Amino acid sequence: MTKGVQLVTTCAIAINKTRALAERALDSLTRFYPDMSIILIDNGSKAGSDVGQWAARLAQHNEKIYTHKIPSDVGSGPALARAFAIASTPFILTLASHVVVKRGMLVENMFHELTESARALGVGRVYKVDAFGKNGQRAEIHPRIPYLDPECALWNRSMYNQLGEIFLDHIAPAIRVCYAAAMAKNKTPVMRFPVREYVDMRSRSVRPLRALPSTIWSPAELESMGYDPVSMRFALCKPTREQEIEARMNVSRETMPDATCGERVQEAIDFVESAGHE
């Protein structure tokens, strides 16, 4: 199965000024998946730069690696979108340059989960975000969007193309893609996978969260979501007790990684009740 999965999957990595990180990410991936095709998106590195020359040399000496140069930095989201347009395989593994694969069976197990559903968009780390792409314990902004983090995720390219959206230059680059999936008439789900059991996330600089939702949504879309352009806020929908418990459990997955499901449920119930939910 390992060989077969590699033949139908392309890995997309966007690089800019982070050769050391990208080199670690690439080496860790090829250690377990030497036959996988890889697209390196050179996202605006300066002419003659170390990272640009390194990427070009890799492509010259390894037929499995293809390098695509973008003249200026368009952001990691649009860079990944370029890889989706270039790739020809039915599945694409997006891997951030700061992610290090630490054990095998990552792609095989993701592939198994993804192909369980004919209409699944992708599989990886999933959490609920609001319309700003912000992940929080309460439903601050309507709607809540099941968000598939492209730092390490396996995508069904056909489903991605059918949604008609692309990744954005935003801290949550897949937000429009995931929103379209959630709103699709025939649901296109994103599926959870224990990514951190297979990879390490190394530190890297993060672009600040955009201040205005208009960087993501059109005026008509904002209006349909109940956005007030004067206060620059969305209409708040008071969450139910069950929604607050679910939101708290999403937080506890990060703050209580060693706790059992039962312990997280009880902690969430205690938290909601202590907050005086009516």
What is the residue-wise DSSP string for 6-26? HHTEEEEEEESS-HHHHHHHH
Looking at residue 111, its pLDDT comes to 95
Q: Each residue of 94-138: pLDDT tens digit?
A: 999 999 999 999 999 999 999 998 889 999 999 888 777 776 544
Q: Percent of the chain, pLDDT > 90?
A: 37
Residue-by-residue DSSP string for 231-258 = TTEEPP-PPPHHHHHHHHHHHHHHH-TT
Q: Model confidence at 191, in pLDDT bands (50, 70, 90)?
A: very high
Looking at residue 2, its pLDDT comes to 65
- CB-based contacts of 94, cutoff 8 Å, min separation 6: 11, 12, 13, 80, 83, 150, 151, 152, 153, 155
Q: What are phi and psi of 273, to 5 degrees?
A: -65, -35
Q: Model confidence at 235, in pLDDT bands (50, 70, 90)?
A: low
Q: Percent of the chain, pLDDT > 70?
A: 82
The answer to pTM > 0.85 is: no
Looking at residue 4, its pLDDT comes to 78
pLDDT above 60: residue 212: no
Better pLDDT: 128 or 207: 128
Looking at residue 151, its pLDDT comes to 93
> Do 145 and 154 touch, CB atoms closer than 8 A?
no
CA distance 153 to 174: 11
Which domains are delineated in the chain?
2-215 (3.90.550.10), 238-278 (no CATH)
Of 2-6, 70-74, 167-171, 226-230, which range is least confident? 226-230
Of 143-152, 177-186, 210-219, which range is least confident? 210-219
pLDDT above 80: residue 232: no
Q: Model confidence at 205, in pLDDT bands (50, 70, 90)?
A: very low
Sheet containing strand 65-70, strands side by side? 65-70, 37-43, 9-15, 91-95, 145-156, 122-129, 190-192
Q: Each residue of 239-269: pLDDT tens digit?
A: 566 767 777 777 777 788 888 888 888 888 8
Looking at residue 265, its pLDDT comes to 85
Looking at residue 236, its pLDDT comes to 52
Looking at residue 142, its pLDDT comes to 56
Mean pLDDT of the chain: 82
Of 42-46, 77-81, 227-231, 253-257, which range is least confident? 227-231
Give the H/E segment covering residue 124.
Answer: strand 122-129
The label of the residue with tokens 């000024």 reads 17
